[in-house]
């Protein structure tokens, strides 16, 4: 696995009160069809999708997914997934599990339930 962990400050960004239980996934760039299908089927897990360069991967390109509050990568407390390929990203997404770290707990009141 070539996962690159990145503790992002974006998850601590102040959020406006969320009147609906689930805001739409934010796409900074268009996602490949396979990833797009997974994301839309798990819109309760994914907050934001991006892809591009500058992620420090070997190819210089990576997919970047920010998880909603209440979710984390399966093997650690990382809330942003960065992978150079769709297959690697799907593997990471399948490992995502519920999270009750302090950061998530602080964000949950404004982002809504993780369910
Ligand atoms: Zn968390």
- Residue 6 in this model has a pLDDT that exceeds 80: no
Cβ atoms of residues 65 and 46 within 8 Å: yes
pLDDT band at 113; cut points 50, 70, 90: low
Q: Which residue has the tokens 């339930």?
A: 113
Q: Give SS3 for 102.
A: helix
Distance 25 CA to ligand 1 centre (A): 18
* N- to C-terminal Cα separation, the chain: 28
Cβ atoms of residues 29 and 49 within 8 Å: yes
Residue 87: half-sphere exposure toward Cβ, Cα within 13 Å? 2
- Residue 30 in this model has a pLDDT that exceeds 60: yes
Distance 103 CA to ligand 1 centre (A): 5
What residues does each domain of the chain span? Answer: 22-102
**Residues 19-38: what's their mean pLDDT?**
88
**Residues 80-91: what's their mean pLDDT?**
95
- Tokens at 83, concatenated: 């992978």
């Amino acid at each position: 696995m070539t996962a690159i962990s990145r503790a992002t400050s974006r998850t601590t960004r102040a959020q406006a009160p969320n009147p609906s239980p689930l805001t739409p996934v934010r796409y900074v760039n268009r996602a490949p069809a396979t990833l797009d299908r997974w994301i839309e089927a798990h819109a309760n897990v994914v907050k934001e999708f991006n892809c591009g360069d500058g992620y420090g991967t070997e190819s210089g390109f990576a997919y970047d997914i920010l998880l909603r509050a209440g979710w984390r990568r399966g093997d650690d407390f990382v809330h942003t997934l960065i992978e150079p390929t769709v297959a690697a990203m799907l593997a990471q997404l399948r490992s995502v599990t519920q999270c009750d770290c302090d950061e998530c707990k602080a964000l949950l009141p404004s982002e809504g339930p993780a369910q």
